[in-house]
Amino acid sequence: MPELGRRRAAPAPWNWQVAALLSALTVLLLPLMFGQRSPETVTASLLAMTVLTLLAVLCASLSEAKRPMPASWLAFAGLLSAMVLIQILPLPFLVNWFGPYPELVMQAGDVPPLSWSPDPGASIRGWVAFIALFGLAWLAYSMPRRLRYWIWLSVVAAALFQALYGLLAHAGGSETVLGIWPRASNANVYGSLYHRGAFAAYLALTWPLAVAVWHMRDMPLLGRLPRELKIAGSVVSAALIGAAIVGSTSRLGAAAGLFGMLLMLILWSRHRRRTGGGSLWPAVLAVTATAIGALWFGVAPLAERVIEGGIDDVRFDAYAVVLTEFPRQWFVHGIGLGGFEAVFKQYRPPQIGGQWDYLHNDALQWIVEMGVVGVAMLLMVLVGLWRNARLSTERVALYAGLAALALVGLGDYSWHIPATQTVLALYLGTLLAPTRRRRRRH
């Protein structure tokens, strides 16, 4: 008599397989585009993200979605789209009411400002990016779990490549990025993400997943490995990324990454205790390997930067300008999506030098650009996360990575980097999906 075993799941429809492949390709491709810090790579990244995502959504739409899109999602997309539309329309009365223009700008010249947004092009680019990210989030929300796991493998592969390439390029004194672009500096570790802050933020977002992916049930390629190899893989992944994130000398990125790993350990302990599952010690071992990897690479450069720089940073001067010089009503109605750079130029004092296309505080910049509507949209996302909160090995890693990136968002602009945005959208789509709660056995 044949041995009864677990029923093999039916393969996903071909169109969903293609959608998952295109999503994974987006995840792997975007981090290679030089950190999106030049006009050419910004355009190329936005174009690649939009085209690949729209193709993936089109493929997935050929059959009925596994989960219908909730009305709250449609309301969220409609609210942002309506806001951007009225911000870019040439309506003089909106310019007079909400336009973020000093009186001299309004009175000077024969052609007054035409739109509420001081940079309609940036507003449109921001909306296009939102549509692409919204599509990615919907794919993660609706996609069969088995296919979503392939995407997580691509996320971990991209993170490990960034960490390994960054360490090897730094150790070898490489003068270029991927042999294409000149490297700005070899004093710290970064991969193909140009800025050390963007590099560290990307690793902080993906670090917990790189550990947890080895322990997820039914994970393709990894699920059938012996337990010893799974533990070894999670330990090596944790140590490799730990060494790279410390070597980046990004103070905020390193702090956020360690915070995310600690949160993962706390949530994992609660998850394991509740489900009566496996032991917690593999996660503890991975976190220990993180510390060892960091010490092996050397924490001295990061410690020196923390001691020398302290909290005396020019970004705090920029925050002070925004909070004290910007009119209070701007925080109510907003200045327009993507309009920060154009407005900040009018108020920036001479002592604040450098490129300030972003505020280096994504949360504050979002509030300045979108006002109370933007705050309401953030609350909608938080409420959705709270209502659908549940612990599993997958969700623990996503919660920890999301918390780490939220911390980075208080002092950097990583939420504007397409490579990071892509992973963030996939995380949010998964965490906003309702889950079946297991009934407790009595």
Give the model confidence (pLDDT) of 226-285 as tens digits.
988 888 888 888 888 988 888 888 888 888 888 898 888 888 877 665 433 445 556 666
Of the candidates 148, 151, 187, the residue with the CA atom closest to the CA atom of residue 166: 187
Q: Which residues of the chain have pLDDT under 70?
A: 1-10, 34-39, 64-66, 103-111, 271-312, 436-442
83 and 56 in contact (C-beta within 8 Å)? Answer: no
- Measured between alpha carbons, how far is 152 from 394 in angstroms, rounded to an integer? 9
On whether residue 374 sits in a domain, the answer given is yes
pLDDT digits (tens, 9 = 90+) for 398-430: 999 999 999 999 888 888 889 999 999 999 999
pLDDT at residue 265 in the model: 83
**Number of independent structural domains in the chain:** 1
- Put residue 12 in one of left, alpha, beta given phi > 0 → left and psi -120 to 50 → alpha: beta
Answer yes or no: pTM beyond 0.75: yes
pLDDT at residue 208 in the model: 92
On whether residue 436 sits in a domain, the answer given is no
On whether residue 2 sits in a domain, the answer given is no
pLDDT at residue 183 in the model: 79
Structure tokens at 376: 């309401």
Host domain of residue 304 = 14-431
Residue 28 neighbours by CB under 8 Å, 6+ apart = 154, 157, 158
The one-letter amino acid code at 238 reads A
Structure tokens at 161: 């490549």
On whether residue 3 sits in a domain, the answer given is no
- Measured between alpha carbons, how far is 333 from 231 in angstroms, rounded to an integer? 51
- Measured between alpha carbons, how far is 252 from 31 in angstroms, rounded to an integer? 20
Please state, in angstroms and as integers, the Cα–Cα distance from residue 270 to each residue in 84, 104, 390, following that order.
42, 59, 11
On whether residue 122 sits in a domain, the answer given is yes
On whether residue 4 sits in a domain, the answer given is no
On whether residue 438 sits in a domain, the answer given is no
- Measured between alpha carbons, how far is 425 from 132 in angstroms, rounded to an integer? 9
- Measured between alpha carbons, how far is 337 from 370 in angstroms, rounded to an integer? 6
pLDDT at residue 280 in the model: 55
- Measured between alpha carbons, how far is 368 from 288 in angstroms, rounded to an integer? 41
- Measured between alpha carbons, how far is 365 from 383 in angstroms, rounded to an integer? 21
On whether residue 437 sits in a domain, the answer given is no
The pair phi, psi for residue 226, each rounded to 5°, is -60, 150
Structure tokens at 41: 């790579």
pLDDT at residue 309 in the model: 52
352 and 320 in contact (C-beta within 8 Å)? Answer: no
pLDDT digits (tens, 9 = 90+) for 23-33: 999 999 999 87
pLDDT at residue 112 in the model: 73
- Measured between alpha carbons, how far is 314 from 320 in angstroms, rounded to an integer? 10
DSSP 23-67: HHHHHHHGGGSGGG-SHHHHHHHHHHHHHHHHHHHHHHTTS--SS
DSSP 274-307: HHT-S-SHHHHHHHHHHHHHHHHH-SHHHHHHHH
Cα 87–chain centre separation: 26
Of the candidates 190, 200, 231, 201, the residue with the CA atom closest to the CA atom of residue 213: 231
Helix 196-212 / helix 393-408 crossing angle, nearest 10 deg: 170
| Terminal-residue alpha carbon distance, the chain | 34
